[in-house]
Structure 1
Amino acid sequence: MRKALKHVSVVGLSMFALLFGSTTWIQYFSAEDLNEHPLNTRSLREEITRHRGPILVDGTPIAQSVPVDDDYEYQREYGAEGMDPEVYASLTGFFSVVGGTHGLESTENTLLAGTDDALFLSQVSSWFTGEQPMGAAVSLTIDPAAQQAAWDALDGQKGAVVALDPKTGDVLAMVSTPGWDPNAVAVHDPAEANAAYQDLVADEDDPLYNRAIGGNLYPPGSTFKLVTAAAALESGDYTPDSTLPSPATLDLPQTSATISNSSRTACGPNDEVDLATSIEISCNTSFAWLGMELGPDAMAEQAEKFGFGADMSIPLGVTPSRFPEDTDEPQLAQSAIGQFEVRATPLQMAMVASAIANGGTLMTPQLVSEVRNARTLSLLEDPSPREFSKPVSPETAQALTDMMVSVTEDGTGTAGAIDGVDVAAKTGTAQHAEGAAPHAWFTSFAPADDPRVAVAVVVESGGSAGNQASGGRSAGPIAKAVMEAVIDQ
């Protein structure tokens, strides 16, 4: 009898130990994994039923939670009167029962959800009052007129636009096309939301890529000649009047490959051209030669000063632009005109223009202007303008500005000119795949003597112009529309 009782006691104690151990493991070691598990509907319901804070543009919510009569209590809605949700989708992203979070809904999730440490006092107050915690209100730097102008001017073509305030780094516009409607993914019916999400994922045009800051990066083409010109001027060996060789075709060393001008002719008499004119007419052979003369170290260093290779969060994550390493002379010649393996985001090329516009000082791009407690309106975050780098001296910046003004007055960028305003610009037409139409680029700032906006535009594969596309013809009018939207206010 005692032996049997002893066995029962041992078994009972063992079962209790196992139960205690498994409970402890679940509560303390597996809790985070279980909370984040996609099948944990309790955790999902807790997220959805929170009153998330709004995302604001010029004081208007472009993403907000509205009360609804269902189990989730609140529905996330995107867009506002006169502010199409597709125009802002690449910024807001979505908050969904199936896709989780995307865009600013993801990067600012703890603030919008009200769980951030900055909202601790509000959380404590809610415990005592019984009120549901409210998420913070996140205000953006976006200028709605510039944002709409960028969207309208792209007119359904695949591409992207970024506009910056050169003096502060504020992002005034950021548009990526094709657009998409976050409301379709934010519905509470899981089957309907999943179908909408899968359609976006399967779309061959990749609408979920924010082409302005990521996705598949673009060769910047001749807009990169601004970086090469900056390296030349900063070296002290060249001025805008320096004479460069500019034959119709440049034979590259170590190979049978050549680089030709788009006109198939020399850029100047006696196969020579000065640096200023080379920028104005976008001479390929002179810049390819110049890149080889400067060497890989000087070119890579100048690109890095403008932001190439940098990991950035604005707070949306930005894919680093890149300048190739360990280039031989032919590769360096191609890189100097924005080809070979040079890749850039429109944000990066807007940063190049912005630094020149701001007298050689590059400000850190920022998309959030302030964060406030949605209930008390107390200020939680108020980002100040921050210097990113000083890529060039004020003297070099002024020289580049003068050369860029000539681009819109007499060169390849006249389509970006604005009556009564000096516009500084550089065009680009970038080859990217055999048989494909080139990408059309335009980067600019205005007014040239007191810049308020710096812009970069890319139109993928020539857009509606196809093989007839050029940076000036296809992307210039888009940049012009955005600049006018800012300076006309």
Structure 2
Amino acid sequence: MNRELKRVSVLVVLMFVALFVSTSIIQVFQADNLSADPRNARTLYDGYDVQRGSILVAGQPVAESVASDDRYKYQRTYSNGELYAAVTGYFAIGGAPTGIEGALNSDLSGTAGSQFLDRISRIVTGEAPRGDSVELTIDPVVQQAAWDALGDLQGAVVAVDPKTGAILAMVSKPSFDPNPIASHDSDASDAAYSGLLDDPSQPLQNRAIEGDLNPPGSVFKLVVSSAALNGGKYTPDSEFPNPSTYQLPGTDTFINNSEGGSCGGGDTATIATALRLSCNIPFAELGGALGEDTIAAMASAYGFGQDVSIPMSVTPSTYPAGLDAGQLALSSFGQYEDRVTPMQMAMVSAGIANGGVVMQPNLVKQVLAPDLTVRSTFTPTEFSRPISDNTSATLTQMMVNGVENGAASNARIDGVSVAGKTGTAENGGDDPYTLWFTGFAPADDPQVAIAVVVENGGGLGQDGFGNLVAAPIAKQVIEAVLNR
């Protein structure tokens, strides 16, 4: 009998141990996963019990929570929703939040570690729970200028302060209104989301930092020029053979300069002339001379292949590996499998503008507690130093020449020295080109670095080019910054 009682006792103890372990796993180790599970209705309702913090631009809310008369207690609303959608994202009753709503969800919802004492205080005082507000670096004047300049075109604009990395504008088009997705009517919210998801123009895709990345075309010549000049072996006056057509090594394929003919006439063309006139053949030759490893190292130093958080995650831009001679030639003027975001190209221009120092791009100016005291503030942080100050100065002058009397002439601004580079990237076959501009101004004291991408040839198919479509957009945004 005693033996049987011992067996039963051991079994009961083991059952209690198993129950203790399983509940501990659920309550402690799986707590975050359970809270994040969209099927967890209790967590969902609890999240709406908190008055979520606002997202502010120049002190004014572009996203805020207002009292509602349903079970969710607070309704998330977005003013100028389409204008700021690429920045704010959305907060919906179903699915994960996106944009700043997602990246700083814990701050906005009042669950961040820095808010622990506040939560304890509210329990003691009975004060209603509230989240922190997030003030952005976005300048509303510059954001509106970027939106207006892009018009009905499909693409994106990114403008940053090269000295600090603060993002002044970030626009992606087509855009969307987050308000229908934030509806408390789940059927209406799902219908709004599904409609956007099924839209062939992909309005939910933030073209400034993610999605199906575009070939950079000739704006990538800034990276190749950086690699050449920073290594000390080449100068702007280094010359290369100047044929009107060039056979890609190891292939039967010939390439041309974008304007046809040779690069500016003459038997040779300098790097400076090739960049100013945006000639492909000299850069194909230069890329072959530099080699894949040298170009890849410079691309990486600027941020290619790196994890960048603004604090939303930026899809890494890519420079391909394992190239043969023909592929290397194509990649050296931004073709083959080169793929970039506008954010990455803005970082390249910002690094050149800032004496060779790339600052970490950032959207968040400060986080404010519910009583408006500053919880944390943005501190400019160095991202990398891809080039020297001397190389920066040399590239700046080369880019200024490109605007003043070269292939980027439509970015000229009276009385302002603008440094710029255009790009017209092929997408294969009869597909429309991708059109680019990147640069900064004023060249002698940069206040803004910018990247513009226009997809689908700007509606002009293969007749569009960067200087015709993208450069004027950049010009309008730069003027907005300088006229603030």
TM-score normalised by the shorter chain: which range applies?
Answer: over 0.9
- Supply the distance in 1 between the matched residues of 2:110 and 2:403 (Cα, whole angstroms): 49
Structure 1 stretches of 4+ with a deviation exceeding 4 A read 10-24
- Supply the distance in 2 between the matched residues of 1:65 and 1:486 (Cα, whole angstroms): 31
Residue 37 of structure 1 aligns with an amino acid whose one-letter code is D
Aligned residue number for residue 467 of structure 2: 472
- Supply the distance in 2 between the matched residues of 1:470 and 1:134 (Cα, whole angstroms): 50
Deviation at 1:21, TM superposition (A): 5.4
- Supply the distance in 2 between the matched residues of 1:270 and 1:154 (Cα, whole angstroms): 39
Deviation at 1:208, TM superposition (A): 1.4
Aligned residue number for residue 173 of structure 2: 177
2:444 aligned with 1:449 = yes
* Structure 2 counterparts to residues 100-249 of structure 1, below 5 A: 100-249=96-245
Residue 158 of structure 1 aligns with an amino acid whose one-letter code is Q
- Supply the distance in 2 between the matched residues of 1:94 and 1:380 (Cα, whole angstroms): 23
Residue 308 of structure 1 aligns with an amino acid whose one-letter code is F
Aligned residue number for residue 410 of structure 2: 415
Residue 47 of structure 1 aligns with an amino acid whose one-letter code is G
Aligned residue number for residue 26 of structure 2: 29
Deviation at 1:26, TM superposition (A): 4.7
Aligned residue number for residue 376 of structure 2: 381
- Supply the distance in 1 between the matched residues of 2:77 and 2:300 (Cα, whole angstroms): 40
Deviation at 1:19, TM superposition (A): 9.0
Question: Which shows bigger deviation, 93-102 or 169-178?
Answer: 93-102
Deviation at 1:34, TM superposition (A): 4.2
Contact 2:216–2:335 under 8 Å retained in 1: yes
- Supply the distance in 2 between the matched residues of 1:72 and 1:11 (Cα, whole angstroms): 49
- Secondary structure of the equivalent of 2:343? helix
Deviation string, structure 1 residues 53-90 (Cα, Å, up to 9, x no partner)? 011111111111111222111110111xxxx2101101
- Supply the distance in 2 between the matched residues of 1:253 and 1:95 (Cα, whole angstroms): 52
Deviation at 1:13, TM superposition (A): 11
Deviation at 1:308, TM superposition (A): 0.8
- Secondary structure of the equivalent of 1:195? helix
Contact 2:38–2:95 under 8 Å retained in 1: no
Residue 130 of structure 1 aligns with an amino acid whose one-letter code is G
Deviation string, structure 1 residues 325-372 (Cα, Å, up to 9, x no partner)? 121111111111001111110011011111111111111111111111
Deviation at 1:14, TM superposition (A): 8.1
Contact 2:240–2:268 under 8 Å retained in 1: yes
Aligned residue number for residue 426 of structure 1: 421
- Supply the distance in 2 between the matched residues of 1:14 and 1:194 (Cα, whole angstroms): 49
Contact 2:430–2:462 under 8 Å retained in 1: no
Residue 396 of structure 2 aligns with an amino acid whose one-letter code is T
Contact 2:161–2:167 under 8 Å retained in 1: yes
1:394 to 373, 389, 396: 389
Residue 159 of structure 1 aligns with an amino acid whose one-letter code is G
- Supply the distance in 2 between the matched residues of 1:391 and 1:20 (Cα, whole angstroms): 57
Question: Which shows bigger deviation, 348-357 or 227-236?
Answer: 227-236
TM-score where L is the length of structure 2: 0.94
Deviation at 1:455, TM superposition (A): 0.3
Aligned residue number for residue 266 of structure 1: 262
Deviation at 1:105, TM superposition (A): 0.7
Residue 360 of structure 2 aligns with an amino acid whose one-letter code is T
Deviation at 1:378, TM superposition (A): 2.3
Deviation at 1:162, TM superposition (A): 0.5
- Secondary structure of the equivalent of 2:39? coil
- Supply the distance in 1 between the matched residues of 2:266 and 2:21 (Cα, whole angstroms): 84
Contact 2:421–2:439 under 8 Å retained in 1: yes
Deviation at 1:205, TM superposition (A): 1.6
TM-score where L is the length of structure 1: 0.94
Residue 63 of structure 1 aligns with an amino acid whose one-letter code is A
Deviation at 1:39, TM superposition (A): 2.7
Deviation at 1:394, TM superposition (A): 1.2
- Supply the distance in 2 between the matched residues of 1:12 and 1:397 (Cα, whole angstroms): 78
- Supply the distance in 1 between the matched residues of 2:9 and 2:221 (Cα, whole angstroms): 79
1:351 to 299, 324, 347: 347
Residue 109 of structure 2 aligns with an amino acid whose one-letter code is A
Residue 29 of structure 1 aligns with an amino acid whose one-letter code is I
- Supply the distance in 2 between the matched residues of 1:158 and 1:445 (Cα, whole angstroms): 22
- Supply the distance in 1 between the matched residues of 2:84 and 2:41 (Cα, whole angstroms): 29
Deviation at 1:18, TM superposition (A): 6.3
Deviation at 1:11, TM superposition (A): 10
Deviation at 1:307, TM superposition (A): 0.9
- Supply the distance in 2 between the matched residues of 1:174 and 1:366 (Cα, whole angstroms): 11
Q: How many residues align?
A: 480
Deviation string, structure 1 residues 307-326 (Cα, Å, up to 9, x no partner)? 11111111000111111112
1:367 to 353, 363, 370: 363
Deviation string, structure 1 residues 368-412 (Cα, Å, up to 9, x no partner)? 11111122x222211211111111111111111111111111111
* Two-structure CA RMSD over aligned residues (Å): 2.2
* Counterparts in 2 of 1:70 and 1:236: CA distance versus 1, 3 Å: same
Kindly, what percent of the aligned residue pairs are identical?
48
- Supply the distance in 1 between the matched residues of 2:429 and 2:49 (Cα, whole angstroms): 51
- Supply the distance in 2 between the matched residues of 1:78 and 1:407 (Cα, whole angstroms): 41
Contact 2:402–2:408 under 8 Å retained in 1: yes
Residue 25 of structure 1 aligns with an amino acid whose one-letter code is S
- Secondary structure of the equivalent of 1:53? coil
